[in-house]
Amino acid sequence: MESEYIYHVTTLKEWEEAKAKNEYTPVNYLKEGFIHCSIEKQVPGVLDRFYKNQTGLVNLKIDKSKVQRPVLFELAHDLDELFPHIYGALNIDSVVEVIILP
């Protein structure tokens, strides 16, 4: 069964800025065209691949049913796995928990 939650790792600084604007778009959004997310079991791999030795990170727990933009599960060819992508700015009220990463 597909989970109702998806996750996105970002910096606490970016998250604080997003709350002030009431929407979140990561710094690389214009280049990528979507917000990279993952399902819960994919988070450790994402942290290992893209955020090694970084500090000040948070993991946003997002209620998929509250996201106001399209969420598409698309293939990451290098991993042969489907990852959720949000096509548009993330509305802040879809974030149900902000998990501070150690």
pLDDT digits (tens, 9 = 90+) for 58-75: 999 999 999 999 999 999
Tell me the domain boundaries of the chain. 5-100
- Count of other CB atoms within 10 angstroms of residue 95: 20
pTM of the complete model: 0.94
Q: For residue 60, give the nearest of 102, 92, 28 by alpha carbon.
A: 92
Q: What is the dihedral of CA 97, 11, 31, 22, to 10 degrees?
A: 50
CA dist 56 to 7, 14, 84, 89, 102, Å? 16, 10, 23, 22, 8
88 token code pair = 């548009």
Q: Give domain 5-100's CATH architecture.
A: Alpha-Beta Barrel (3.20)
Res. 102 pLDDT band, cuts 50 70 90 = confident
